[in-house]
């Protein structure tokens, strides 16, 4: 039976933080009586991320859960795509494993989709900075602003924060587009929004509460250069026609691969 909501958590070597985050999300689902599932995608971790997830899920037997793991680290984008394809919810939301955006912000994104006002909603730190609790170091924050300006200039997307790890999708509209996605690492957020925007889906950037976690996996120098290259790759993909709907891969075959991994 189809669920109302799927919550996808991409996780790479998150054994220290994941258990607490699963408990908070599960408690929220229980408190709000949500018809929801939780999907953890272990992106080739070398620690015991998978075991931590399975152990945490034991405390919430009434909640439908999945843990998907593959051996090779493919990147956050690949993990999110894998989780979305495995999801059964009418609406799917992905959240960073550190819950930098508290799970209590979920209704801000889910309710507009539920009311059929939008097809994709995503958290933003840029629209109302008073909602930021623990701020990033100045250098990292300025780097994020420069990156988002670059995204706006190159892609034409009218948004101020594409990288917040808190996004929701009406899967009836978004699932067919997953076969077009090619970016596997941190630039995937831009590709998700770009393809959805170009295909006429209704997108909404929504201010959310957010707190910086100093244990973040993002390295400013290394990953910023990589993300810039990926944004340019998105434009090259468009020129090559890779975002045409007739380029969609066989999602049924991909789903079979996913099913075999969890």
At 104-159, the pLDDT tens digits run 999 999 999 999 999 999 999 998 989 988 877 666 777 777 888 889 999 999 99
- Please tell me the class of the 3-259 domain: alpha beta
Q: Mean pLDDT across the stretch 188-203?
A: 97
Contact 21, 9 (CB under 8 A): yes
pLDDT at 1: 59
pLDDT above 60: residue 261: no
pLDDT above 60: residue 253: no
Distance CA 9, CA 228 (A): 24
**Among candidates 172, 145, 179, 176, which has minimal Cα distance to 159?**
145
Enter the pTM of the model. Answer: 0.90
pLDDT above 70: residue 252: no
pLDDT above 90: residue 219: no
Q: Where are the domains of the chain?
A: 3-259
Distance CA 8, CA 67 (A): 10
pLDDT at 260: 46
Among 67-71, 127-131, 222-226, the range with the most confident prediction by mean pLDDT is 67-71
Distance CA 175, CA 8 (A): 14
Q: Mean pLDDT across the stretch 214-232?
A: 73
User: What percentage of the chain has pLDDT greater than the value 70?
Assistant: 88
Mean pLDDT over each residue of the chain, to the nearest integer: 90
Distance CA 231, CA 222 (A): 15
- Reported as half-sphere exposure (CB side, CA atoms, 13 A), residue 50 has a value of 14
Neighbours of 158 (CB within 10 A): 9
Distance CA 25, CA 57 (A): 11
pLDDT at 192: 98
Which residue would you say has higher pLDDT here, 9 or 226? 9
Instruction: For residue 92, give the H/E element and its range.
Output: strand 89-95
């Amino acid at each position: 039976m189809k669920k109302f909501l799927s919550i996808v958590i991409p996780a790479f070597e998150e054994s220290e933080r994941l258990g607490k985050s699963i408990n908070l999300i599960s408690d929220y689902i229980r408190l709000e009586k949500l018809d929801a599932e939780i999907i953890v995608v272990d992106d080739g971790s070398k620690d015991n991320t998978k075991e931590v997830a399975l152990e945490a899920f034991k405390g919430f037997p009434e909640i439908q859960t999945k843990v998907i793991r593959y051996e090779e680290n493919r990147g956050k984008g690949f993990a999110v795509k894998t989780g979305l394809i495995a999801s059964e919810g009418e609406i799917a939301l992905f959240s960073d494993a550190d819950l930098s955006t508290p799970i209590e912000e979920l209704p801000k994104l889910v309710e507009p989709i539920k009311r059929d006002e939008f097809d994709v909603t995503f958290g933003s730190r840029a629209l109302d900075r008073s909602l930021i609790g623990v701020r990033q170091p100045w250098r990292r924050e300025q780097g994020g602003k420069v990156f988002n300006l670059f995204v706006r200039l190159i892609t034409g997307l009218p948004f101020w924060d594409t990288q917040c790890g808190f996004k929701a999708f009406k899967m009836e509209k978004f699932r067919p587009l997953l076969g077009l996605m090619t970016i596997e690492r941190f630039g995937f957020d831009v590709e998700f929004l770009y393809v959805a925007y170009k295909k006429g889906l209704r997108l909404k950037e929504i201010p959310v509460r957010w707190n910086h976690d100093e244990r973040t996996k993002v390295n400013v120098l290394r990953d910023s250069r990589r993300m810039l290259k990926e944004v340019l790759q998105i434009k090259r993909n468009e020129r090559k026609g890779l975002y045409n709907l007739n380029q969609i891969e066989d999602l049924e075959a991909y789903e079979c691969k996913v099913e075999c991994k969890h």
